[in-house]
């Protein structure tokens, strides 16, 4: 853990505007949400369509230069995934064009342009990941909510081409899926496998998290209504993800499942269940109204 708590700078495109009391810019908080997500959603604009592309990928924050770096340090996002070089090139061109600020939005445009200028090698991507920790059931539909932890990161993605970094990232991502899996498989990958694996490294320029925890919060007009209180159940249904019993493949010969795997399943499930319960009873870092 770094001595100081690091925060991402607030950019016009990264600042939480709705329920900003739920916002959190700490690197450690944001990175933890990303690193405990099974998938992240990677979005980027593509030419000739008004619709962004969104691809689910496996992603993990880490540092090739300082592999022992802590979750709260400045880290890169490593993605297991592929974006065509045509899109990479076209988007870089489009990014260059966008650097020219337009007249009537000068201030935010200038800020964004400055960022583009200094970091414009790579595909601009937005990364999103969310954990739903519970259904928040209140007296009225309007104050129903979720307990959740969501994170968004903004950065520039480039393919990992250096052989040493690629091998490191393959091991890093594999072990993020199941701790210690890498050395229990047939490694190192051969030349064809190295060639066919696509990895992206995202240099992060901004990020934010948004978190809601705790019990429901209803307006006084409703909590003062005795008939309503007698009739409507209020509370939280905690939610978490469960890894089930490892199910051997038809060609598996290793029985029972090895300890590193069953330990990982057990540990992950315990962490997930405990987190959901913690978020249920934790006071809200938020205004009283919910959505």
Map the footprint of its own copies across residues 65-94, applying CB under 8 A.
Answer: 80, 82, 84, 91, 94
Q: Using CA atoms, how far apart are residues 209 and 130, in angstroms rounded to an integer? A: 9
The maximal CA–CA distance of the chain, rounded, in angstroms, is 71
Q: For residue 160, state whether it binds its own copies (rule: CB under 8 A).
A: no
Q: Which stretch binds its own copies (CB under 8 A): 27-35, 63-71, 158-166, 223-231?
A: 223-231
Q: For residue 121, state whether it binds its own copies (rule: CB under 8 A).
A: no
Residue from 71, 137, 275, 282 touching its own copies (CB under 8 A): that is 137
- Site map (CB under 8 A) of its own copies, residues 14-53, x = contact: ---xx-------------------xx-x-xxxxxxxxxxx
Terminal alpha carbon distance of the chain:
33
Instruction: Give the residues across from 204 on adjacent strands.
Output: 155
* CA proximity to 32, closest of 285, 279, 282, 259: 279
Q: For residue 103, state whether it binds its own copies (rule: CB under 8 A).
A: no
Among residues 72 and 143, whose Cβ is nearest to its own copies? 143
Q: Which stretch binds its own copies (CB under 8 A): 1-9, 28-36, 68-76, 270-278?
A: 270-278
Q: For residue 124, state whether it binds its own copies (rule: CB under 8 A).
A: yes
Among residues 35 and 72, whose Cβ is nearest to its own copies? 35
Q: For residue 242, state whether it binds its own copies (rule: CB under 8 A).
A: yes
Q: Which stretch binds its own copies (CB under 8 A): 2-10, 20-28, 63-71, 217-225?
A: 217-225
Q: For residue 233, state whether it binds its own copies (rule: CB under 8 A).
A: yes
Among residues 4 and 85, whose Cβ is nearest to its own copies? 85
CB of 234 to its own copies, least distance (A): 4
CB of 4 to its own copies, least distance (A): 27
Residue from 108, 114, 203, 270 touching its own copies (CB under 8 A): that is 108
| Cα→Cα distances 278→6, 7, 77, 209, Å | 24, 24, 27, 18
Among residues 3 and 242, whose Cβ is nearest to its own copies? 242
Tokens at 117, concatenated: 């200028």
Within 166-185, the residues that bind its own copies by CB under 8 A are 170-171, 174, 177-178, 181-182, 184-185
Three-state SS for 208? Answer: strand
Q: Is the dihedral of CA 143, 211, 264, 79 positive or negative?
A: positive
Residue 170: exposed, middle, or buried by beta-carbon count in 10 A (0-12, 13-18, 19+)?
Answer: buried
Question: Rounded to the nearest 5 degrees, what angle is found at the Cα of 284, between the Cα atoms of 283 and 288?
Answer: 125
Is residue 27 within 8 Å of residue 291, measured between CB atoms? Answer: no
Q: Using CA atoms, how far apart are residues 20 and 194, in angstroms rounded to an integer? A: 44
Q: For residue 193, state whether it binds its own copies (rule: CB under 8 A).
A: yes
Q: Using CA atoms, how far apart are residues 165 and 171, in angstroms rounded to an integer? A: 10
Residue from 6, 74, 88, 257 touching its own copies (CB under 8 A): that is 257
Q: For residue 98, state whether it binds its own copies (rule: CB under 8 A).
A: yes
Q: Using CA atoms, how far apart are residues 1 and 70, in angstroms rounded to an integer? A: 5
How many amino acids of this chain bind its own copies (CB under 8 A)?
A: 115
């Amino acid at each position: 853990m770094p001595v100081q708590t690091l925060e991402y700078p607030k950019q016009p495109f990264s600042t939480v505007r709705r329920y900003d009391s739920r916002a959190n810019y700490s690197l450690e908080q944001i990175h933890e949400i990303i690193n405990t997500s099974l998938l992240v959603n990677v979005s980027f604009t593509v030419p000739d369509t008004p619709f962004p592309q969104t691809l689910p990928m496996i992603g993990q924050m880490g540092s090739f230069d300082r592999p022992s770096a802590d979750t709260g340090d400045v880290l890169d996002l490593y993605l297991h995934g592929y974006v065509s070089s045509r899109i990479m090139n076209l988007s870089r061109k489009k990014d260059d064009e966008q650097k020219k600020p337009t007249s009537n939005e000068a201030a935010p445009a200038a800020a964004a342009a400055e960022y583009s200028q200094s970091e414009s090698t790579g595909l601009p991507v937005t990364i999103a990941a969310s954990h739903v920790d519970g259904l928040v059931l209140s007296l009225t539909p309007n104050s129903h909510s979720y307990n959740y932890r969501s994170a968004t990161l903004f950065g520039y993605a480039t393919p990992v081409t250096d052989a040493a970094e690629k091998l490191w990232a393959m091991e890093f991502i594999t072990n993020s899926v199941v701790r210690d899996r890498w050395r229990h498989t047939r490694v190192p990958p051969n030349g064809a496998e190295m060639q066919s694996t696509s990895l992206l490294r995202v240099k992060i320029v901004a990020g934010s998290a948004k978190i809601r925890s705790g019990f429901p919060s209803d307006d006084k007009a409703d909590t003062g209504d005795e008939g309503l209180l007698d009739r409507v159940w209020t509370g939280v249904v905690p939610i978490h993800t469960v890894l089930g019993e490892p199910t051997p493949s038809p060609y598996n010969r290793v029985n029972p499942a090895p300890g590193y795997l069953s330990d990982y399943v057990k540990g992950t499930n315990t962490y997930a269940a405990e987190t959901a319960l913690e978020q249920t009873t934790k006071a809200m870092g938020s205004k009283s109204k919910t959505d």
